[in-house]
Amino acid sequence: MTTPFFAVAVGHTTEILLTLFIMLAAAKITAEIFERLKQPAVVGEILAGVLIGGSVLGWVAPSEFTNTLAEIGVIFLLFTVGLETKPSAIFKVGKLAAIVAVLGVIVPFVAGYLLMLAWGAANVQALFIGTALVATSIGITARVLSAMGLLDAPTSRIILGAAVIDDILGLIILAIVSSVAEGRVDYIEIVTTIALAVGFTAFIALVGAKVLTNFAPTIERLRTSDSFFVFGLVLCLGLSVAAAYIGIAAIIGAFLAGMALAEASEKNHDMHKQTSAVTEFLVPFFLVNIGMQLKLEVFRDTSVIVLAIVLTILAVLTKLIGCGLGAMSLGWRRAAQVGMGMSPRGEVGIVVAQIGLSLAVINDSLYAVVLFMAVATTLIAPPFLKWLFATEKAAKDDVDSDDAGGIVAQGDFCKIG
Amino acid sequence: MTTPFFAVAVGHTTEILLTLFIMLAAAKITAEIFERLKQPAVVGEILAGVLIGGSVLGWVAPSEFTNTLAEIGVIFLLFTVGLETKPSAIFKVGKLAAIVAVLGVIVPFVAGYLLMLAWGAANVQALFIGTALVATSIGITARVLSAMGLLDAPTSRIILGAAVIDDILGLIILAIVSSVAEGRVDYIEIVTTIALAVGFTAFIALVGAKVLTNFAPTIERLRTSDSFFVFGLVLCLGLSVAAAYIGIAAIIGAFLAGMALAEASEKNHDMHKQTSAVTEFLVPFFLVNIGMQLKLEVFRDTSVIVLAIVLTILAVLTKLIGCGLGAMSLGWRRAAQVGMGMSPRGEVGIVVAQIGLSLAVINDSLYAVVLFMAVATTLIAPPFLKWLFATEKAAKDDVDSDDAGGIVAQGDFCKIG
């Protein structure tokens, strides 16, 4: 079949369709295997990416299309998580979440920076690696908590609140470090970014939710079928774009869009189901894409392996210590839940590494080390999280004396994928 | 904001997100306006594309990403339509659909070919324009019928069956004409394509549906959440890819995947709702993208306008006459419904034009003429279809003596977008 007909009509799009088919099928087969082994499906889907990616089978390679689809996937994931997160619930834990976030930013940043200097890296390199350790992958954590039906647990609220805050902090630090790497520091730009980020978040969370709750009946009366679902899609994309233009991550905008609609959509089960369906379709591409980024061949160099392992341990420990310290008022078990919940780095760490690479500050090996750290923390956290929550649940089932911290077991509805 | 941080992390993906936001918002706003004017929303969404595209406002341009997303959108649309189409229902109208399809291919092809020769075009050019007139845009027609809750009407079954057959015929003719344009005719390849296309369609419709109906309980017992929905997604992508590799359009594979699952999924309302949600998200990108393809500026040349209008009239009349003749046994009103239902050309006509352009057989003006014809037939058909079905419905409501041809008014469930 070599006619131009096939080259044009079948060629490019078919290749992408084939890639999507392989990614989705591989994700779901490994997810099924992991479910049967009583392991989190999210880990299976990421490992599916490692398996089908360039390092092992080489069936698919990340492309601009899969990267963008992955980004849209994580945007919808955060939107769905936002829909389950009422602003009032976050405000309740706001102060604690802020402390957790700030300590969880400072400790990993400083530790990563010092480790790299001790390893013999240049100052700018060390700054970048420190920055890559800062931001929690709210997507991975949310996916794990959601699949376990734990989005309503009190520690989950703190984790999600703190993850939003540390993503914002992380992106501000990245902007500063990038300026340093370029040999210039534009204070006005940095201050503007900070003001916009804080103002945008506060505005959506405080004003947006109230306005939307008042407007919900009007939206539901529109002639367009499933108007509330459609409105949600438009708002999700719109605030994602707005957040990106302001200088915070698009996923934060999507989360805020969901949060602003959480109360308005509370009784609209159809809208929640429809949004979950879109998310369920798109999220596997996000997870598999993370796995596909891992290039195993650079680890032939032993020093790269050692650094990757050391950095991964440091990444987990610094969030456990930093965030755990912040949450110590909840008792050690919940502090550990919060610390472990904050430890997956995922996409933000990878974005930092990509920017470092594009500025020629980071070389291929350091890039692989950051990718390894991001993927490894993502793989390590879920089983520990599951165990930490399970032991609490068991303890609670035995004693049944602690009401305020009850874990609300949600139904299949929240198992978005 | 000119730091590389924004260039990398915000730049490309944000641009795509912004494009998606504008496309979705514009589609839904015009759809709402059209619904209020009692016009089909699908026309509004295509016109939204013309409006925001390069010809009028210039806010967005079709890119590789939007083209691929549009293709995935129409794939999901056909999958959803397939889910509502039980093979047994198609087999009932199979013979009639085949006659409608064959007459609806021959008449437009010959008429288009002769018109172009009379217009002074070269032989190969005339062959390409004839080919562009062959294939009905099953996507557009299905969208209109679905939005009107008419997928169950007997003429709808004939239209969908005939549209599947004429798409297959159209793609075979395209393969032949492309060979001619390249100055070689490979009979073995042509025969292989025909055999594969027919064999694949027959196999899925006859064997696939039965196998899947037997396997449905097993699929529903899998541990993966919403396993039947997930299985449907994988099958849809898989058969789309298979169809494209065999040499028929990906959308035919998606339609067959849906049809094969139609009986197995009949009682699984969740799966239907979830699939509809994904479709509802993706289809606007397909519709807006069609509108965005229309470049109004080439029509400054009066002869281009005249040819475009003549070809559009010919496109509608030849399907009305060809398909109408085939369906005359149903009475003139239903024959007209079938003929009008077959007249939108949409994406297949555009693909033919793109291939003609890539082979340097068709120039920019002829390309624009085909695009105009594809968009115009798409715009013309829905109001006429609505009117043809409404008058039948009114006549039926008055007399109420014709049972066999009852139009089943479906609920919002089928209003996929």
Is residue B365 less than 8 Å (CB to CB) from chain A?
no
Phi, psi at A57, each rounded to 5°: -85, -30
Name the B residues in 56-85 with CB < 8 Å from any A CB: 64-65, 67-68, 71-72, 75
Cross-chain residue pair B21–A179, CB shorter than 8 Å: no
The H or E element containing residue B3 is none
**Which of B33, B124, B225 to mutate to test binding with chain A, by most A CBs within 10 Å of its CB?**
B225
Query: Is the model's pLDDT at B167 over the cut of 50?
Result: yes
Percent of chain B with pLDDT over 90: 32
Tell me, yes or no, whether A234 lies in a domain.
yes
Asked if the Cβ–Cβ distance from B25 to A240 is below 8 Å, we say: no
Contact B17 A244 (CB under 8 A): yes
Tally of CB atoms within 10 A around A201: 21
| CB nearest to A247's CB, from B1, B222, B224 | B1
Q: Which residues of A touch B229 (CB under 8 A)?
A: 277, 280
- SS (HEC) of chain A: CCCHHHHHHHHHHHHHHHHHHHHHHHHHHHHHHHHHCCCCHHHHHHHHHHHHCCCCCCCCCCCHHHHHHHHHHHHHHHHHHHHCCCHHHHHHCHHHHHHHHHHHHHHHHHHHHHHHHHCCCCHHHHHHHHHHCCCCCHHHHHHHHHHCCCCCCHHHHHHHHHHHHHHHHHHHHHHHHHHHHCCCCCHHHHHHHHHHHHHHHHHHHHHHHHHHHHHHHHHHCCCCCCHHHHHHHHHHHHHHHHHHHHCCCHHHHHHHHHHHHHCCCCCCHHHHHHHHHHHHHHHHHHHHHHHHCCCHHHHHCHHHHHHHHHHHHHHHHHHHHHHHHHCHHHCHHHHHHHHHHCCCCHHHHHHHHHHHHHCCCCCHHHHHHHHHHHHHHHHHHHHHHHHHHHHHHHHHHHHCCCCCCCCCCCCHHHCCC
Residue scoring higher pLDDT (A359 or B105): B105
Q: Per-residue confidence at A91, pLDDT binned at 50, 70, 90?
A: confident
Q: Is the pLDDT of residue A194 over 70?
A: yes
| Domains contained in chain B, number | 1
User: Does a structural domain hold residue A413?
Assistant: no
Name the amino acid, one letter, at A210: K
Report how many Cβ contacts below 8 Å link chain A to chain B: 208
pLDDT confidence bin for B19, thresholds 50/70/90: very high
**Cβ of residue B38 closer than 8 Å to a chain A Cβ:** no
Residue A36 to residue B238, Cβ atoms within 8 A: no
Q: What is the mean pLDDT of chain B?
A: 82
Contact of A259 with B253, CB cutoff 8 Å = no
Average pLDDT on A383-409 reads: 59
Q: Which residue in A has a C-alpha nearest to residue B16's C-alpha?
A: A68
pLDDT given for residue B212 in this prediction: 87
Asked whether residue B411 carries a pLDDT value surpassing 70, the answer given is no
- Mean pLDDT, residues B290-301: 80
For residue A147, the chain B residues in CB contact (below 8 A) are: 225
Whether the per-residue pLDDT at B200 is higher than 50: the answer is yes
Question: Amino acid identity of B362?
Answer: I
Query: A410 or A20: which carries more pLDDT confidence?
Result: A20
Tell me the shortest Cα–Cα distance from B402 to chain A, in angstroms: 31
User: Which member of B10, B75, B355 has the closest CB to residue A5?
Assistant: B355
Cβ within 8 Å of residue A141, ≥6 positions away: A159, A160, A163, A341, A342, A344, A381, A385
pLDDT tens, position by position, A138-183: 777 787 788 778 887 888 889 988 988 887 788 778 877 877 777 7
CA distances to B16, B107, B318, B333 from B103, in Å: 43, 6, 9, 18
Residue A275 sits at the chain B interface (C-beta within 8 Å): yes
Query: Residue B409 above 60 pLDDT?
Result: no
pLDDT, residue B35, reads 83
| pLDDT confidence bin for A274, thresholds 50/70/90 | very high
- pLDDT band at residue B33, thresholds of 50, 70 and 90? very high
pLDDT tens per residue across span A325-356: 999 998 999 999 999 999 998 767 777 887 78
Please determine, for residue B312, whether its predicted confidence score (pLDDT) is greater than 90.
Answer: yes
Kindly report the nearest CA distance between residue A10 and chain B, in angstroms: 6
Average pLDDT, integer, range A305-315:
95
pLDDT at A6: 35
Q: Is residue A4 a part of any domain in this protein?
A: no
Which of A2, A10, A37 best probes binding to B when mutated, by most B CB atoms within 10 angstroms? A10
Whole-number pLDDT of residue B236: 96
State pTM to two decimals. Answer: 0.80
Q: How confident is the model at residue A230 (pLDDT cuts 50, 70, 90)?
A: very high
Contact yes or no for A21 and B241 at CB 8 A = yes
Contact B28 A249 (CB under 8 A): no
Tell me if A52 sits within 8 A of A290, measured CB to CB. no
| pLDDT above 90 for B90 | no
Residue, of A354 and B196, whose pLDDT is higher: B196
Nearest CA to B115 among B103, B131, B126, B128?
Answer: B126
Q: How confident is the model at residue B396 (pLDDT cuts 50, 70, 90)?
A: low
Distance from the Cα of B34 to chain A's closest Cα (Å) equals 9
In a domain, B401, yes or no: no
Domain extent, residue A386, equals 65-393
CATH, residue B376:
1.20.1530.20
- What is the average pLDDT across A4-12? 45
User: Which residues 115-154 of B are in CB contact (within 8 Å) with A?
Assistant: 147
Measured between alpha carbons, how far is B207 from B214 in angstroms, rounded to an integer? 11
Mapping DSSP to helix (H, G, I), strand (E, B) and coil, where does residue B12 land?
Answer: helix
Question: If you count them, how many residues does chain B have?
Answer: 417
Mean pLDDT is lowest, of B11-20, B188-197, B299-308, for B188-197
First-residue to last-residue Cα distance in chain A: 37
Q: Which residue has the higher pLDDT, A91 or B59?
A: B59
Q: Mean pLDDT: which of A87-101, A264-278, B104-118, B402-416 is highest?
A: B104-118
Confidence class of residue A392 from pLDDT cuts 50, 70 and 90?
Answer: low
State what percent of residues in chain B have pLDDT above 70.
90
Which residues on chain B are in Cβ contact (under 8 Å) with A14? 241, 244-245, 250
> From the CA of B399, how many Å to the nearest CA of chain A?
31
Mutation target vs A (from B2, B192, B230; most A CBs, 10 A cutoff): B230
Tell whether B225 lies on the interface with A, counting CB pairs under 8 A.
yes
Mean pLDDT of B252-263: 87
Tell me phi and psi for residue B107, to 5 degrees: -60, -50
Buried b (16+ CB within 10 A) or exposed e, B111-141: bbbebbbeeebeebbbbbbbbbbbbbbbbbb
pLDDT of residue A106 exceeding 60: yes
Instruction: Report the pLDDT value the prediction gives residue A411, as an integer from 0 to 100.
Output: 33
Q: What does the block give as tokens for B108?
A: 């437009």
pLDDT of A397 above 60:
no
* Average pLDDT rounded to a whole number, residues B41-62: 86
Is B13 in contact with A412 (Cβ distance < 8 A)? no
CB-CB under 8 Å, B415 with A67: no
Domain presence at residue B241: yes
Assess whether pLDDT exceeds 90 at residue A37: no
Q: Which residues of B touch A171 (CB under 8 A)?
A: 9
| Residue B51: inside a domain | yes
**Strand blocks (E) in B297-390:** none
> Is any Cβ of chain B less than 8 angstroms from the Cβ of A17?
yes
Residue B100 resides in a domain? yes
Measure the CA–CA gap between A82 and A169, rounded to whole angstroms.
19
Chain A residues lying within 8 Å of B415, measured CB to CB: 225-226
Q: Is B179 on the interface with A (CB under 8 A)?
A: yes
Q: How far apart are CA B241 and CA B238, in angstroms?
A: 5
Report the distance separating Cα A131 and Cα A352, nearest Å. Answer: 7
Distance to chain B for A178, nearest Cα, Å? 7
Cα A415 from Cα B366, distance rounded (Å): 51
Across chain A, what does the average pLDDT equal? 82
pLDDT higher than threshold 80 for residue B229: yes
Q: Which residues of A touch B276 (CB under 8 A)?
A: 274
pLDDT bin (cut points 50, 70, 90) of residue B416 is very low
Residue B411 domain-assigned (yes or no): no
Please report which confidence band the pLDDT of residue B55 belongs to, taking 50, 70 and 90 as the band edges. confident
- Higher-confidence residue of B169 and B369: namely B369
The reply to whether A266 touches chain B by the CB within 8 Å rule is no
Share of chain A above pLDDT 70, in %: 90
- Would you say residue B299 has pLDDT above 90? no
CA distance B218 to chain A (A): 13
Q: Is the pLDDT of residue A115 over 90?
A: yes
pLDDT (mean) for B310-337: 93
Say if residues A260 and A205 touch (Cβ distance below 8 Å).
yes
Nearest by Cα to B355 from B208, B149, B182, B195: B182
CA distance B71 to chain A (A): 8
Spatial separation of the C-alpha atoms in residues B177 and B180, rounded to whole Å: 5
Contact B224 A32 (CB under 8 A): yes
Three-class SS of residue B360? coil
* B298 closest CA partner among B380, B377, B372: B372
CA distances from B361 to B124, B125, B275, B312, B356 (A): 7, 6, 40, 20, 5
Testing the interface with B: which of A1, A2, A5, A76 to mutate, by most B Cβ within 10 A? A5
Q: Which of A1, A2, A3, A177 to mutate to test the interface with B (most CBs of B within 10 A)?
A: A3
What distance in Å separates the CA atoms of residue B75 and residue B250, rounded to the nearest whole number? 7
Chain B closest-CA separation from residue A228 CA (Å): 12
Distance to chain A for B194, nearest Cα, Å: 13
Residues 180-219 of A with CB under 8 A from B: 182, 186, 189
Calpha distance A283→B230 (Å, rounded)? 12
B72, B224, B352: best to mutate for the A interface, most A CBs within 10 A: B224
Shortest CA distance from A190: residue in chain B: B1
Give every CB contact of residue B182 below 8 A, 6+ residues apart in sequence: A3, A4, B359
Tokens of A81: 């998580």
